[in-house]
A and B are shown apart, each in its own frame.
Chain A
């Protein structure tokens, strides 16, 4: 569904991604782990072109997103199908919770307001925040904000969900409520790519784990392969430190 081919990304002289090739299949739950600064978030942000790769290809379904001729396809149309959840939530503070969720369906997809609100309420129910529909994001806790952010991304009915360290900015007691929502989502068959430091979560939910180190996929495999039988020395060192 989502492929990368020899993906490179540099910020000025700093080369963050040094050739990442992988293929994310429909229904997979891919956990991306690695040390800070290893390039895992940059990799994720390249998947919906929030970061423009320096070289290499990103292919979503049959569309190459990195073709030279940017006018040959509509990136906004592609992004509708790729949901993203951020570390810092990035809810729109000027809109209520429900408006946050219905904005894109109404303005981008042209869904009528009633239908969008109905879908929005269903999603809020799913993340357990129905009663918060009319409040502004500033009144929510971190965990609640992140659950709204997940509902907002789901409202576009995406084919794949990208999570960029969704629990890293949360107080410890709120991590679980967010992980549970993501877990339910993954179990329901949503194709998911999640950059995370929650190794327990990766172990339990992921179908595949990518260990990224210094801009390349150093090791990948099932959670059992990576967490119980890591082959590379760097992977072993990393896991020893974090687990």
Chain B
């Protein structure tokens, strides 16, 4: 036990609740992971739409990324969980109690993430020198082969680290779901706060949990980046 400016910090008071924190942390990891996977899918579709020959798809994809990136993620979570059910748009609890809510927040986060992932894909593809495309096409490779054998392998080097950052962002931003009652690690903190009348201790613990999660992920990404950079960058 220690005293700082007359505030008592007693970390031992948190011991009985460690499994609650753990449950919350696992849910945070799960939500973030599924969100990033789905976000990649949405982002991929949006990227295809942006590169499509058809103006309507370009327009839709641009509207999507602009609206999502131009509004707060908290607003989007509220809209999906509280707003849309008012006009009958609601995902039913098909997979047990509160599963509808869980799916709804994951969709809200994934749609948000997809807009950012789309930008990551776009800038990654644009970062490949236009001469690469010209060289491949002049050899007779078609657009599809050029993308697969020449452009993508190079773009992936800029895309993967940025996607990793998006995953890290999502671990932190998924804390938004606590406001609508999803029991992630942020939500557990509030519950434990209520149960123990202690504010600082649970905050410190979830801070450490978020920090450990993001740090682990960061070092994992560094490892991956180093492997990708083994063959040097420019021709």
What residues make up the interface of A, taking CB atoms closer than 8 Å to B?
A: 48, 50, 76-77, 79-80, 82-84, 86, 88-94, 103-104, 107-109, 136-139, 145, 149, 152-153, 156
The residues of B with any CB-CB pair to A shorter than 8 Å are 129, 131-132, 134-142, 145, 149-150, 153-154, 231-235
- Asked if A108 meets B140 with Cβ closer than 8 Å, knowing A94-B154, A103-B149, A138-B234, the reply is yes
Contact check, B150 vs A92: say whether CB atoms are below 8 A apart.
yes
Q: Are B232 and A90 in contact (CB under 8 A)?
A: no
Given B139, B150, B154, which contacts A153 in the complex, CB threshold below 8 Å? Answer: B139
* Chain A residues with CB below 8 A from B232, complex form: 93, 136, 138-139
State the Cβ distance, B159 to closest chain A Cβ, in Å: 13
Chain A residues, Cβ within 8 Å of B153: 94
New contact pairs (7) apart from A76-B140, A90-B129, A92-B136, CB-CB < 8 Å: A50-B134, A80-B139, A86-B131, A92-B150, A107-B145, A108-B140, A136-B231
Contact across chains for B141 and A90 when beta carbons are under 8 A apart: no
Q: Contacts of B135 on A, CB cut-off 8 Å?
A: 84, 86, 90-92, 149
A-B contact pairs, 27 of them (CB 8 A): A76-B137, A76-B142, A79-B137, A79-B139, A80-B139, A80-B140, A86-B134, A89-B235, A90-B129, A90-B131, A90-B135, A92-B135, A92-B149, A93-B231, A93-B234, A103-B149, A104-B136, A104-B140, A104-B141, A108-B140, A108-B141, A137-B235, A138-B231, A139-B232, A149-B135, A156-B139, A156-B140
Q: What are the residues of chain B within 8 A of A90 when measuring CB–CB?
A: 129, 131-132, 134-135, 235
Taking CB atoms, residues of chain A closer than 8 Å to B139 are 79-80, 83, 103-104, 108, 152-153, 156
CB-defined contacts of B235 to chain A, threshold 8 Å = 89-93, 137-138, 145
A82 touches B138 (CB 8 A): yes
Nearest residue in A to B145 (C-beta to C-beta)? Answer: A107
B138 to chain A, nearest CB (A): 4
Question: A-B contact count, CB below 8 Å?
Answer: 82
Task: Give chain B nearest CB distance to A78 CB in angstroms.
Answer: 8
Cα A107 to Cα B136 with chains together (Å): 11
Q: Which of A90, A139, A152 has the most CB of B within 10 A?
A: A90
Closest 10 CB pairs of A and B: A90-B135, A80-B140, A138-B232, A104-B139, A91-B235, A84-B138, A90-B131, A93-B235, A137-B235, A94-B153
C-alpha gap A49/B117 in the complex (Å): 33
**B150: contacting residue among A79, A89, A94, A108, CB under 8 A:** A94
What is the CB-to-nearest-CB distance from B227 to chain A, in angstroms, rounded to a whole number?
A: 13
A103–B141 Cα distance when bound, in Å, is 9
How many angstroms between the C-alpha atoms of A94 and B142 in the bound complex?
18
Task: Decide if B134 touches A93 in the complex (CB within 8 Å).
Answer: no
Q: How far is the CA of A137 from the CA of B232 in the complex (A)?
A: 9
Q: CB-CB < 8 A to A104: which residues of B?
A: 136, 139-141
Q: Which chain B residues lie closer than 8 Å to A153 at the CB level?
A: 138-139
Give chain A residues whose Cβ lies under 8 Å from the Cβ of B142. Answer: 76
* Bound: A28/B33 CA distance, A: 61
Give the docked Cα–Cα distance between A70 and B50 (Å).
Answer: 23
Taking the closest CB of chain B, its distance from the CB of A240, in whole angstroms, is 33
